[in-house]
Chain A
Amino acid sequence: MPSSLLGALWVVPALPLLGFLLNGALALWRPHAKTAVSAIGVGVLVLACAAAVAAVAGFAGLHPAAPLVFRYWEWMPVGDLRIDFALQFDQLSAVMVLVVTGVGALIHVFSVGYMHEDAGYARYFAYLNLFVFFMLMLVLGASFPVMFVGWEGVGLCSYLLIGFWFNEQINADAGKKAFIVNRIGDVGFLIAMFLIFRATGSLDFGPVFGRAAAAFTPGGATVTAITLFLFLGCTGKSAQIPLFTWLPDAMQGPTPVSALIHAATMVTAGVYLVARCNVLFALSPLGSATVAGVGALTALFAATIALKQWDIKRVLAYSTISQLGYMFLGVGTGAYAAGIFHLVTHAFFKALLFLGSGSVIHAMHHAYDATHAHDDAQDMRNMGGLRRYLPWTATLMWIATLAIAGIPPLSGFFSKDEILGAAFALGTAEPVWLLYWAMGIAAALLTAFYMTRLMLYTFHGPNRTGDQARTHLHEAPWVMTAPLVVLGVLSVVGGAFNLPELVDGKASLQHWLAPVSALAGRMRPVVELSKAVEWMLVGGAVVVAALGIVGAVRQLHPETLVPARLAPSETGLGRLLWKKWYVDEIYDAVIVRPVQWLAREVLWQTIDVRLVDGLLVNGSATASRALGWLGSRLQTGEVGFYVALFVIGVLLVVGGAMR
């Protein structure tokens, strides 16, 4: 009975939660039971993935028009507010659940190899399981508050895992920064919820979206404010301008964490949120245009920074920010299916790139550890020629590189092309979207360039690891390469999930997701392009991608690179990009340090210590003591003195009365 499987939907998030509890207990009391930890950690994910597949199969058999809602218990019932702990399942949740548990399971397997020597093995899997639990709450929650549980919960796990090696301050700092920057976005999410509740009287997805058309005037101030506040939340969680600065620092965490949380799943939560609230965004043209505009700008901006990074993971981090920008361009354009499609394919090829870089770093670490060298294992200037030592990794990462660059027929080509096509189509009516499209094309050129640069410097040319260390370089064990192979296959064929009608495909994902955004689709009809124009766009995009790759191959010369410690520093524009446009420095000077100064010098030392406590509280105590002293001095005991005082007093009173 498929429907009974669906009824047990709670099992999907409950499994990783159970894994967290068990592994958490092991981490505290039996940290060396690594076999049990791996069995539990990977086991719950595989089971959750199987349960998710069963649920999706059951759901597909039902063909329901509306999401299925499962209520478990009352959470916050207060007056006219009624929030239940409830999950919902629909076509969009189905896609997300499959990505989260599927890619999640692969990355858990990879982690068994990657983290095996680590003393915090059990704690690592506990956190990773907890992350999957919260991520599932995020995509399955049936209301804004339940989604918010997952939303902040994944942020917590991100914080714990970025700072996983907490005894180094740089890691702990990065975790804290991620949490605090995300909280800025979360306040946007909160205020959006308050506005939604005030306008619609509910926070459950069903009623809110059902009443939206009646409760809001299209383009009105309220719905625009709601969408902008929601998008503020997205800029934090999904690392868009202006709140993107935490994601590159998040690379301090273990590399599988970067793959799972900071590439494939958590950072896409903002895209999911916009797609989930498509009705609200369709009602607010300004909100949608902001989403698309910020997305396009971020895609381009982050790509420029990726051009000049030397840390292999930082290149991928900026690449992720840039690709998330594409997804926002997609959902902002109203092409919700295209945005989600790119989310899915990106999960494949970016997870592959991160895990591949993990296997590179793993090999580099081994080599440096074995030779007691202290060089940077993540700096591409210390790599070079690694394809000879890591042939599987090199091949698979090339596949992912071609996919992200948009070379047909790999997955990224189809998804990116749909987003750009949708933006261009809208541009035929409103020219500003042509600007967004152009930014997307420019970013695509840069993407092909910086990814080829990464591959050339890492895998080609002469090796720069060092003569001794070089002999220790070798391919990772099968437990790490096997997930790479699976992701490689998915990166190649992922486009088949949504083969466009242009090439006689069925656009399966688009049709699958159609019920989710049906209402929004009616409010905001899609602009159709002629086949000829579509073919021209496709051709142009492929030329741009090819230009990027060829340009990088011709421009860059891996054989001239020197190891990091010998390398000269950058100058001019290169330095500006290498320093990430100085955004962190600007935030530090304009926001962080002034707030610190205000809190310490003004609020605490001046107002609290000197003014309130010193002058008012202790000052009044001193004043009353002084008055008491004065009073006691007056009690001289001499009658003549009292008489004199009396006379003076009478004279003063009489004098006052005469005037």
Chain B
Amino acid sequence: MYAQTVLTALIAWPAIAAVGVLTAPARWAKHIALAGSLLELAISVPLWWVFQPAGGMQLQVDVPWIPSWGIHYAVGVDGISLFLILLTTFLMPLSILGSYSYITTRERAFYALLLVLTSGMIGVFVALDLFLFYIMWDVMLIPMYFIIGVWGGQNRLYAALKFFVYTFLGSLLMLVAILALVYLVAERTGVYSFSYFHLMGNVGELGTVAFWLFGAFFLAFAIKVPIFPFHTWLPDAHVEAPTAGSVILAAVLLKMGTYGFLRFALPLFPRVALHPAVQTAIVTLSLVGIIYGGLVAMVQPDFKKLIAYSSVAHLGFVMLGIWALTLQSVQGALMVMINHGISTGALFFLVGMLYERRHTRLIEAFGGIAKVVPLFAAVLTIVSLSSIGLPATNGFVGEFLVLLGAFRTYPAAAGIAAVGVIVAAMYLLPALQRVIYNPLDKPENAGLTDLSARELAVLLPLVACIVWIGVYPAPLLRRMEPSAQRFIESVRPAPGPAAAAR
């Protein structure tokens, strides 16, 4: 019963809850949304135990949707998507609870959009039909557009439009590539199907057209990740979005890009992905992301923008890990995806809490507040340390595995990426100092109130994850390993003599 329905329930339930939010009185909206998201979390939690690490793609459901076009409603989960689903369902209640006092206008619409967004995100991670994937990709795009555009900051319309046009451009290219792929495979097999497994099994050799198809997928996913130079929508979107929007954007939406590479771009076009020129280009862009993103983050006056650029750096580690194609680097990439969701999500919550108190995100507006708000300072310190990858926090596990694994494939690149560890300390510690340390010289800060019980309830689960994943990540790693192994084999089937000799 659970096995056949859970994924569908996870997609459908938030949408149903959204209807409930819209029809109920406005003052109940946030409570209903919170209850709905908690139920969603409760539905997802048993996956941790139901999931069979060695079982491949599982809990699958496959029913015809538009049979004449070969479109199915096909969903499933493996060790790659499992944790992205759990990350999403874990963060949604926190995002809703974190918005309780931040969102004061059109509450029903806001919370309904958040819930619809949840459906879209889960759908992206479980879809095993490329048409369904495309639909879900756009389902999640529209609520985010409104969340930024309606509840955002001063420059929200520009940011929302930039986000939308950029992402939509990518998704249109992806649609063209999907249609072309289906057509090309149908020419060979005579079967028109959007099924992931059908396409994977019959894609065969496409010659130069594979480069064009890969390019289209690459652009769609690269914008989302984002990879330099497609990243400039991110700082604007993050700065303008309300706290919950920033949290979800960073924690989940960016991961759709890297997930797309893991699920589609590399397994479908391994020859292109492993082409030396493509490898060089992507590894170089990953390094640019790590170093450039970190250095630009270092000079940002706006705390949210700083975190946005730091995301570019973190996602650079993910891309490097994916392309290095070793078990450690790929699992490290998966860990960075999760950890970035937790740590950066927590950072956005904390900056949002500062913003609610002072209505500014400028780093220079603060200083010395550890004296006034010691609890806030303690949490911000822990989260910052996890973000810069201090050992025994979650951040270290991911970065260490990526670098260790990447060192086997690209030693020089891993060496350069390791410098990113210094850069991370160079952008986050000075910001931390300028916010919570230094003289308490601004009278407005002297009366700040420390974290409330509600705010603690938002942050403590994240801090718990930071410590837990940092100290005992083995249960996660064990559940990922077979899927990561399969991913590597799908891209590089038989280890060549060079790899074996190494």
Contacts and interface: CB of A to CB of B under 8 A. Distances in A.
Contacts of B390: 152-153, 156
A79 B385 CA distance: 28
Nearest to A194: B407
A152 B391 contact: yes
Contacts of A535: none
A65 interface: no
A406 B192 CA distance: 87
Interface in B167-224: none
A598 interface: yes
Contacts of A74: 474
B368 A166 contact: yes
Contacts of A148: 391
A169 B438 contact: yes
Contacts of A152: 390-391
Contacts of B135: none
B371 interface: yes
A616 interface: yes
Contacts of A267: none
A613 B228 CA distance: 11
B215 to A, nearest CB: 17
B375 interface: yes
A478 interface: no
A431 B433 CA distance: 49
A167 B438 contact: yes
A198 B474 contact: no
B232 A73 contact: no
Contact of B375 (A28, A172, A195): A28
Contact of A604 (B231, B296, B471): B296
A73 B472 contact: yes
B295 interface: yes
A132 to B, nearest CB: 15
Interface in A386-445: none
A148 B391 CA distance: 7
Interface residues of B, number: 62
Interface string A172-198: 110110011001101100110111011
Contact of B327 (A28, A79, A172, A197): A79
B321 to A, nearest CB: 12
A370 B421 CA distance: 47
A149 to B, nearest CB: 4
Contacts of B165: 621
Nearest to A612: B229
Contacts of B472: 73, 75
Contact of A77 (B298, B433, B478): B478
B46 interface: no
B167 to A, nearest CB: 13
A602 to B, nearest CB: 9
Interface size class of A (residues with CB under 8 A): 35 or more
A166 B377 CA distance: 12
A216 interface: no
B422 A183 contact: yes
A501 interface: no
A175 B481 CA distance: 39
A404 B233 CA distance: 61
Interface in B412-432: 414-415, 418-419, 421-422, 425-426, 429-430
A543 interface: no
Nearest to A190: B418
Nearest to B370: A166
Contacts of B401: 76, 78, 81
Interface string B277-321: 000000000000000100110111000000000000000000000
B296 A180 contact: no
Given A73-B472, A163-B437, A169-B439, A79 B407 contact: no
B253 interface: no
B403 A190 contact: yes
B471 A78 contact: no
Contacts of B385: 156
A117 B244 CA distance: 43
A148 B403 CA distance: 15
A472 B430 CA distance: 40
A557 interface: no
B448 interface: no
A73 B331 CA distance: 19
Contact of B421 (A190, A194, A600, A616): A190
A600 B474 contact: no
Nearest to A146: B391
B421 A187 contact: yes
Contact of B437 (A166, A195, A612): A166
A152 B470 CA distance: 14
Given A176-B429, A604-B296, A78 B232 contact: no
Contacts of B422: 180, 183-184, 187
A599 B299 contact: yes
| B295, B405, B485, most chain A CB atoms within 10 A | B295
B425 A596 contact: no
B295 A599 contact: yes
A605 to B, nearest CB: 9
Contacts of B391: 145, 148-149, 151-153
A163 B371 CA distance: 13
A76 B397 contact: yes
Contacts of A600: 299
Interface string A274-308: 00000000000000000000000000000000000
A581 interface: no
Given A172-B438, A603-B292, A78 B426 contact: no
A596 B300 CA distance: 11
Interface in B365-392: 368, 370-371, 374-375, 378, 385, 390-392
Contacts of A186: 421
Given A28-B378, A180-B429, A194-B414, A167 B421 contact: no
Contact of B429 (A179, A191, A195, A595): A179
Contact of A149 (B392, B426, B437, B438): B392
A606 B401 CA distance: 34
A184 B299 CA distance: 20
B266 interface: no
Contact of A172 (B300, B408, B426, B437): B437
Nearest to B332: A78
B404 A168 contact: no
Given A166-B368, A193-B404, A612-B229, A79 B426 contact: no
Nearest to B419: A187
A156 to B, nearest CB: 6
Contact of A153 (B392, B421, B426): B392
A608 B419 contact: no
B452 to A, nearest CB: 15
A224 to B, nearest CB: 15
Contacts of B471: 75, 85
Interface string A111-150: 0000000000000000000000000000000000100110
B437 A617 contact: no
List 5 A-B pairs, minimum CB-CB distance, nearest first: A79-B327, A194-B407, A166-B437, A599-B295, A172-B437
Interface of B: 162, 165-166, 228-229, 231-233, 292, 295-296, 298-300, 326-328, 331-332, 368, 370-371, 374-375, 378, 385, 390-392, 397, 400-401, 403-405, 407-408, 411, 414-415, 418-419, 421-422, 425-426, 429-430, 433, 436-440, 471-474, 477-478, 481, 485
Given A169-B437, A169-B438, A179-B425, 12 more contacts: A24-B378, A75-B473, A77-B474, A145-B400, A159-B429, A166-B368, A167-B439, A187-B421, A194-B411, A603-B296, A613-B232, A617-B233
30 contacts: A75-B471, A75-B474, A78-B401, A78-B481, A81-B328, A81-B404, A148-B391, A152-B390, A152-B391, A153-B392, A163-B433, A166-B438, A172-B438, A176-B429, A179-B425, A183-B422, A187-B422, A191-B415, A193-B404, A194-B403, A197-B407, A596-B298, A599-B295, A599-B298, A603-B296, A607-B292, A608-B296, A612-B228, A617-B162, A617-B232
